Structure formats: structure tokens, C-alpha cells
Amino acid sequence: MAKKHTVSETNETISAVITALGEGAVGIIRISGTEAAAIGDKLFRSASGKKLTEHTPHLLVYGHVVDEENSKIDEVLAVYMQGPHSYTAEDVVEIQSHGGLQSLKTILGLTYKMGARPAEPGEFTKRAFLNGKMDLSQAEAVIDVINSENEYALQSSVSQLKGSVKKKINDIREKIIYHTAFIETALDDPEHISVDGYSDTLRSSAEEIIQELERLIHSADDGRVIKEGIKTVIVGKPNAGKSSLLNVLAGHERAIVTDIEGTTRDVLEETIKLGVLNLNVVDTAGIRQTEDLIEKIGVDKALEYAETADLIIYVVDASRSLDENDEKIINMISDKKSIVLLNKSDIDTVISAEHIKEKVSNIPIISISAKEERGIKDLEDKVKEMFLKGDISFNDQVYISNVRQKNALLEALESMKKVIRSIDDNMPEDFYSIDLMDAYESLGYITGNSVGEDLINEIFSKFCMGK
């Protein structure tokens, strides 16, 4: 059975700066634990003369931080949050001082002298999890909120922080445990509870659960794109305008552009904000037959990157006829998520969209001029259409954006499929309950109901200091 966490596993009081270190208007120090209130009273002198804990909890109080000799260190605002009504569910004191590094360092040092120890990375959120303030999926969403690089990533993380993943997983687990409990009860008391015909009921429910799990697993790809960005590879013949396109998208000269073919020999990587999405763009060497060893390595890398890309942008020099190198690229992208850009539309062209459609009718084609920055908005709109399928709503859609969570879902899915196979093979009912419990436990890894201490420590070690 999973370990149940109801109270903090340590009585130690911790403290840390929870704002970014460096020059700033305000810096915040958080103290959490059994001695937080006592440390706050020693450390803080309010303008009224009252102790911090004598003020209304959750009310900001004006005063000064003082040292052991009662000398004023800084003019601050302080707040006392009585557990369990705090982020960690423990007694918490937060001090808002001026954001200078020396001030924060001095105040933090005083908290250590008064009984606190330095908080480990992610320890405040870890305590919130251990004390039941949030499940593991919500805890992981905290760091995702901090690291969000676009609007959709932020919305997805906030939705998960509110408990969207937790609710969905708990709903599925409740269905599983219901059937497990019925079977176990029936096996223990066959005289009063019959399992005759129950396999049909279980099969129907198991199929519904499998569909729900498959939907969540499928969402992991969208979730990864939302969170990490779209892995995008720009391919094309030499001098087609790939590097020019990268420069336009990046908004600065990221790549060297010349009239000499084969200028780009290695891959160039750039993260580009395209509307509300992030493109993790790789500009590759022009794909062509070559005897130049270094250029050939670059071409091989281009093909390798294209194999694992979320999106391939194929740049065609519309002023030149297609050749065997183009045929090679077209064959490569025909079964992948791709966009064809007919570049150099500002000059006389010999290649039209119809020429490309004859070879790949299922791939969108956009005319652009990288030189004059025309067609870039059309590219942006097409990428959004392909990857977001319109506007995303996080009110009713759950997105899995975590590899650990996806793997747990895959394990649960396999266990539920075993339930179906056992039913089809007319296996005894106790076989059903074994696989049902395996699925139940696998889903518990997502919410934290079935995880051990080592995994918990590993997850929270990835958090930033002060969170």
C-alpha cells in the first residue's frame, strides 16, 4: 500500500530567499516550520511594537528586521501565516525586504542563527505535497508554471496546478477500485454475492477506462509541444533561403547568408517565439549530393534531425527547377508533418504550388519571400492550425506534459488491456483483480499515492532554490 503523507516528515524549520537573487525593488524570504513563528517574533519589530504573531494572520505588517542586538537591519513588510493555512500547511513567516543582495543575505543569515536551516531546492513545495496541500501532479505543475515560455504552456500548467490532472486520474482510479472491491468481496463471500455475468459489466467499464487512458496518452504529444515547443527542422537545397528564413524568424542575423552554396555546413539551433508557440528551430546544411566530407556530414545530420522532428519546413527556391535533390527531400517529408515554403516569390519563379501538389498533395504550401519578409504571418497561422487545432481551452481539456506521467499511463493501459484479455480467455476472477490493482497503482504514481521516498526526492531536487 502506498505511504500516506499527512504531516511533514521533519520538524526542522527551513528558510530561503524565494525571489530571484540580484538587484531588485523587493526580495522575499520565507520561513516554514514549527519554529517559524518564534523566529518571526525575534526577527521582526512592528511599528506598533506588537509581536508579528500578535497581528492578524495573513495581514502584511510594517516594521523593521532587527539583529540580536536589536539593531535595525532593514525596513520591511512581514506576514505570519498560521498552518495549515499556508503554502506548506506549516506555520510560515514571509519577510518582504528591499531587494539588495546584501540585505537579503543578512536577513537570511539571521534566520539561520535563530534556528532555521537552509531550505533545499523544492523543499517548500515538497512539504506542501507531504502535508497534503497538493498531489504530485500539482507539485510538478508548480515548476512548470515557473518555467513556462509561452501563453499556452502557462495556461496548461495553471490548469494542472488547479487539479485538472488530479481530478481525472482520481476519477479513473475510483472506477477501478470499485470493480476490484466488488470482485474481492464476492470471492470472500460467494454465498451472498455472485460474480455470474459480472465479466460483461467489467469488460464494458474496462473498455471505457482504456479509451480515457488512450486520450490522456495522446494528449501527451500536445502537452509536450505546449510545454517544450515544436521541434522544427528547416530543410532544402543549398541556397534555397533556409538561413534567410531562420534570420527572419529569429529577428536577428543568426545564420550567415551568402550566394555561395554550402555556406551552412553544421546545424544551427534557435528557439523562436512564433505567435503563442515556441519553435525550437534547427537550420540544417543544404541537402544535395556532395563529395565535400564536412558538407556531407552536415547533410547526414540534416536527414537525422528531420527523422525525429515535430515539424519539417521545406524551403524551395521557386526560381529554380526541381531536381533529384528535391525529389529526395519530397520523398522524406511525404509522410511527416510538414510545410512547403515557395521562397523567392519576389522574383521570377518557375515553380508553382501545382508542381509541388503533383508530388505531395497532403502538405500545405505557402509562397514567401524571406528577403522581403512576406508570407511569415501565413506560416505562423498554418503552424498554429496544425498543432493547436484552433484555440485551446484548458477548462475541460486535460493535457499530460510530463514523461513520468505518460509512462505511468502507458503501464496502466497495459494492465487494463490484460483485464480484457483475461475476460476473453475466461480466466478466474482473481486474475481480473490483480491487473486492476496494477493499473490502480500505476495511476497512483501520477498523483503521488504510490510513490516512494527516492522518487519524491528526485522530483523535487529538480526545483529551483526557494520553491
Express as a percent the part of the chain with pLDDT over 70: 81
Express as a percent the part of the chain with pLDDT over 90: 32
**Predicted confidence band of residue 305 (pLDDT cuts 50, 70, 90):** confident
Give the torsion through C-alpha atoms of 158, 160, 164, 169, to 10 deg: 180
Q: Is the pLDDT of residue 8 over 60?
A: no
**Predicted confidence band of residue 3 (pLDDT cuts 50, 70, 90):** very low
- The pLDDT of 337-350, averaged and rounded, is 82
pLDDT, tens digit (0-9, with 9 covering 90-100), for 101-153:
899 999 999 999 999 999 998 899 999 988 988 888 888 777 766 666 656 55
pLDDT at residue 46, as a whole number:
94
| In 108-217, beta strands by DSSP E | 117-118
**Predicted confidence band of residue 331 (pLDDT cuts 50, 70, 90):** confident
One-letter amino acid at 309 equals A
Q: Where are the domains of the chain?
A: 14-133, 145-224+398-461, 228-388
pLDDT at residue 263, as a whole number:
41
pLDDT, tens digit (0-9, with 9 covering 90-100), for 213-259:
998 888 776 666 767 778 888 888 877 778 788 888 877 655 434 34
How many residues make up the chain in this entry? 467
Higher pLDDT, 56 or 142: 56
pLDDT at residue 88, as a whole number:
94
Q: Which of 205-214, 341-350, 355-364 has the highest mean pLDDT?
A: 205-214
pLDDT at residue 150, as a whole number:
58
- Residue 14: phi, psi to the nearest 5? -120, 155
The number of helices, as runs of H, and strands, as runs of E, in the chain is: 15, 13
Do residues 95 and 116 make contact, with C-beta atoms less than 8 angstroms apart? no
Q: Which CATH number fits domain 14-133: 3.30.360.10, 3.80.10.10, 3.30.1360.120, 3.30.365.10?
A: 3.30.1360.120
pLDDT at residue 205, as a whole number:
94
- The pLDDT of 89-112, averaged and rounded, is 93
Phi-psi sector, 365: left (phi>0), alpha (psi -120 to 50), beta: beta
Q: Of 29-33, 77-81, 126-130, 224-228, which range is least confident?
A: 224-228
Do residues 97 and 91 make contact, with C-beta atoms less than 8 angstroms apart? no
Q: Is the pLDDT of residue 192 over 60?
A: yes
Q: Hey, what's the cell of 436? A: 486492476
For 228-388, which CATH superfamily applies? P-loop containing nucleotide triphosphate hydrolases (3.40.50.300)
Q: Cell 506548506, residue?
A: 88
pLDDT at residue 319, as a whole number:
83
Q: What strand order describes the sheet that includes 268-274? A: 268-274, 277-283, 230-235, 311-317, 338-343, 365-367
- The pLDDT of 435-444, averaged and rounded, is 93
Higher pLDDT, 73 or 21: 73
- Residue 306: phi, psi to the nearest 5? -65, -30
In CATH, the number for domain 145-224+398-461 is 1.20.120.430
pLDDT, tens digit (0-9, with 9 covering 90-100), for 387-430:
765 444 444 566 777 788 899 999 999 999 999 999 999 888 88
- The pLDDT of 156-160, averaged and rounded, is 62
